[in-house]
Each structure stands twice: as structure tokens, then as C-alpha cells.
């Protein structure tokens, strides 16, 4: 398209076609319900995308909840920011990085306690959107029972949105999800460029 | 790793190795500077990831700026949310979807006016992080001069972080970026499931 990008007539035609496609797609999309989104893959941006969706939902006056299943050293920014807001129900699993505890039993206890908070939100239709940050990691290490988690997700209120982040999303979760994004690394400053982990940036 | 996931000894070894790798990587990463992040690809989550990074930066008490290069119908959530915050300098390009205007000249004028705001932020070291949402689309349609944009990005204050979102990131931008994430569609509710565009969810 680039060679024609500067041709006003071609541009107008292209934009008009795009507009028709968008309108037809909108017209086809008639099912209204809560969406289950999964953000996975090795690339940067999974958790920040979840928190951005949280901000958008708050901008729409929605009631939101957050449960962080892995408390990362770089997660303190979101925590500090969103905890200031009374309309955000914010819980953090009581452990550091799992590779800092090296105690599987404590990780399991912490994950199960965190899932209790998550299930409380899934049982409460007053929550318009809930974010389960890094839940996929807790599932990957089998800290939680996958079938129980899937059952709780499917039993949630019909209009409730759920956003789940973390690498290694299990296939069974992808199967029940409405939308799944895989984030891949094209370039990584931290890994490739030897740039110091940046306050406010590293995921 | 799953067959051994429940073996506490194997788990502890795996976590210890992960800890060593993280520490070595941290030790190697000595360069401290602002990071240029690019979030691209067809998957959902590019803009919300940028806004999540904005929230994290605000949580760290940073001064931030936003310029949105395509005002999407679904962007109003972030706008409503972040405009409430006095510490956010927020600008939106004065046009709707480009495929709603169908006037290339007006799009170019609007994009150039928006880039003036962006350049003002890039000239001001008091901004710790700036988000140029959907800039890649303005570059894709050649509404802006790519070389000028690259020059302005490279001339920014050394410690300033920049996050750029949108499909079709030009290779020349990827080349100067520190970190690039490609977001791919595994599943899309809107496209595949016929679910109505969700207030607070659609990107």
C-alpha cells in the first residue's frame, strides 16, 4: 500500500472500504456478554496491558478488582498507583518471586489464599472487570487446581469481564477464553542491550 | 517440566537456577538510560499496555505525557481516566478514525499538530515517560515524516522513556528501539465469537 499512500483518491477508497468492513463487523457482533481475555507469551506488556484495561474500565466508571498471583519487584508501581483509588479492590499474593522463596508448599498456600480472593470477586456481579495478574504462572507451577480455576471462571456473572496475564497460558484456559493475545519478543533492552532494569518500565 | 512440577526438590533446584540467572543478568545490565519501547502487531493489548506503563510510572511518582495519534471510539476510557490526573499531560489528535474522515490532507494536518505536542515533550527533560499511542499508524499512512520522527526520538533527554504503540511499526523505528513486543492474535472475541464490542474492553 505504501507506493499509493500519497494518492488522495486511493487513500479515500481505502478508508471507505475500511469503514464498511468495520460497520459490517459491528452489525454482525450481536452477542453481549462479559469477555474472558488472556494475555500470554514471552514478550513485555502482558501485565501492563491488563492494568491499562483496568484504567480504561475505571474511566468508564466500572467497579474493578485485581489479584496479583506473583508479586514482582517491578509491580510496585501499579500497586502504588491503583491502591490510591477507592474504587479498586486490590490484593497481592503474599510472596515474592517464586524463585526467591524456593519453598513450594508456601507458594501453594499463598496461591490458594490469593485464589480465594479471586473467587470472591467471581462470585460478586458488582465487579464489572477483574484482573488476575500472573495467574498463568501459578497454573504453570500447578500451585492451583486448573479444573477448579476453569470452573470458577465459567461460573462467573454473565456480564463480568476477566483479564488473565502471564506466560504459559494453559491450553484449557485458551480454549474457554474469548480473546487471547500472544506477546512475542522482537527485541528486549534488558536481555539484549544490557540496559539496567528501569524503575517504572520493566515488567 | 510438568511431570516434575510436584517434586519439591526439583522445584527448589529449578527456582534456585532461575534466581542465579536473574542475578547474573541484573549484574550484567549496567547501562542506565531512558528506554524506547515499541508495542506492535495485530493482537489486542498494545495501547492498553502503553497505558498500563503510564500507570506504573505514575505509581513511581514520574511525570508523564500522552499523545494519541488516532482517536478511537474505544479510547475514551483511558482519556476519561487519565485526564482526571493533574500529573498527566494528555493530548488527542483532533480527528476521529482516519477511515471516518476520508480526507488525507486533514489527517496530515492533525498528525503534524499532534507531533508538535510530542516534540515539545521530547524537548523537555522534566517528562520521565511519554506515550505516543498509535503513532505507528500515522507513520504507516505517511502522515508524518519518518526521518524527522526518528531524529526527534533520538534527540530526546538521555533518561526519558518513550512508549510507542500501533500496528505496522516501521523497521527503521524497530532498529532504534531498545525493546519491541509483537502482539499476535491467538483468538479474538470481536472477530471470531461475534461478541459485541465491549465498553471498557475493546482496544
Residues of chain A with pLDDT under 70: 1-6, 20-31, 71-75, 95-102, 189-203
CA–CA dist A35, A92 (Å, integer): 23
**pLDDT band at B100; cut points 50, 70, 90:** low
B200 contacts in chain A (CB < 8 Å): 53, 56-57, 59-60, 62, 128-129, 161
Q: Is A58 on the interface with B (CB under 8 A)?
A: yes
Are A7 and B167 in contact, with CB atoms under 8 Å apart?
no
**pLDDT band at B24; cut points 50, 70, 90:** low
Determine what percent of chain B is predicted with pLDDT higher than 90.
Answer: 56
Closest CA in chain A for residue B171 = A186
pLDDT tens-digit map of B73-82? 556 788 889 9
A102 contacts in chain B (CB < 8 Å): 11-12, 15-16, 19
Q: Answer with the residue of higher pLDDT: B23 or B138.
A: B138
Q: Is the pLDDT of residue B1 over 50?
A: no
B179 contacts in chain A (CB < 8 Å): 44, 187-190
Question: Shortest CA distance to A58 belongs to which of A126, A129, A119, A164?
Answer: A129
DSSP letters for B15-68: HHHHHHHHHHHHHH--B----EEEEESSSTTHHHHHHHHHHHHHHTT--EEEEE
> Which helix (H) or strand (E) is A80 found in, with range?
helix A76-83
Are A136 and A168 in contact, with CB atoms under 8 Å apart?
yes
Are A182 and B186 in contact, with CB atoms under 8 Å apart?
yes
Could A196 and B46 be called an inter-chain contact, meaning their C-beta atoms sit closer than 8 Å?
no
- pLDDT of A114: 93
- pLDDT of A21: 65
Are A167 and A40 in contact, with CB atoms under 8 Å apart?
yes
CB atoms within 10 A of CB B126: 10
Are A143 and A175 in contact, with CB atoms under 8 Å apart?
no
- pLDDT of A27: 58
Q: Is the pLDDT of residue B132 over 80?
A: yes
- pLDDT of A97: 47
User: How far is Cα of residue B187 from the mean position of the Cα atoms in its chain?
Assistant: 21
- pLDDT of A1: 45
Q: Is B175 on the interface with A (CB under 8 A)?
A: no
Q: What is the mean pLDDT of residues B126-153?
A: 95
Q: Is B167 on the interface with A (CB under 8 A)?
A: no
- pLDDT of B75: 62
- pLDDT of A19: 74
- pLDDT of A9: 84
Q: Beta strand B179-187 with A179-187: parallel, antiparallel or unpaired?
A: antiparallel
User: A168 — alpha (psi -120 to 50), left (phi > 0) or beta?
Assistant: left
A46 contacts in chain B (CB < 8 Å): 45, 49
Q: Could you report the predicted ipTM of this complex, rounded to two decimals?
A: 0.76
Q: Is B170 on the interface with A (CB under 8 A)?
A: no
Q: Is the pLDDT of residue B131 over 90?
A: yes
CA–CA dist A101, B14 (Å, integer): 12
- pLDDT of A196: 53
DSSP letters for A135-202: HHHHHHTTSS-HHHHHHHHHTS-TT-EEEEE-SS--HHHHHH-SEEEEEEEEE-IIIII-BPPPTTT-
Q: Is B98 on the interface with A (CB under 8 A)?
A: yes
pLDDT tens-digit map of B163-179? 999 999 999 999 999 99
Task: End-to-end CA distance of chain A: give it in Å, rounded.
Answer: 35
- pLDDT of B190: 57
**pLDDT band at B33; cut points 50, 70, 90:** confident
- pLDDT of A101: 60
Measured over the CA atoms of residue B55, residue B56, residue B59 and residue B63, the dihedral's sign is negative
Domains, chain B, with CATH or none: 30-193 (3.40.50.300)
Residues 6+ apart with CB under 8 A from A83: A90
Amino acid at each position: 500500500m505504501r507506493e499509493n499512500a500519497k494518492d488522495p483518491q486511493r487513500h479515500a477508497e481505502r478508508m471507505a472500504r475500511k469503514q464498511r468492513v468495520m460497520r459490517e463487523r459491528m452489525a454482525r457482533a450481536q452477542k453481549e456478554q462479559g469477555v474472558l481475555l488472556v494475555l500470554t507469551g514471552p514478550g513485555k506488556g502482558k501485565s501492563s496491558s491488563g492494568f491499562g484495561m483496568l484504567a480504561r474500565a475505571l474511566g468508564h466508571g466500572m467497579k474493578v478488582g485485581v489479584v496479583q498471583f506473583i508479586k514482582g519487584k517491578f509491580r510496585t508501581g501499579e500497586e502504588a498507583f491503583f491502591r490510591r483509588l477507592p474504587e479498586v479492590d486490590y490484593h497481592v499474593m503474599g510472596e515474592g518471586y517464586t524463585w526467591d522463596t524456593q519453598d513450594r508448599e508456601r507458594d501453594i498456600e499463598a496461591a490458594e489464599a490469593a485464589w480465594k480472593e479471586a473467587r470472591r470477586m467471581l462470585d460478586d456481579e458488582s465487579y464489572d472487570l477483574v484482573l488476575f495478574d500472573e495467574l498463568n504462572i501459578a497454573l504453570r507451577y500447578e500451585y492451583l487446581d486448573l479444573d477448579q480455576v476453569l470452573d470458577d471462571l465459567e461460573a462467573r456473572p454473565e456480564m463480568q469481564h476477566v483479564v488473565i496475564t502471564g506466560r504459559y497460558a494453559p491450553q484449557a484456559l485458551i480454549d474457554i477464553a474469548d480473546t487471547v493475545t500472544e506477546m512475542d519478543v522482537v527485541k528486549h533492552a534488558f536481555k539484549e542491550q544490557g540496559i539496567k532494569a528501569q524503575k517504572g518500565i520493566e515488567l
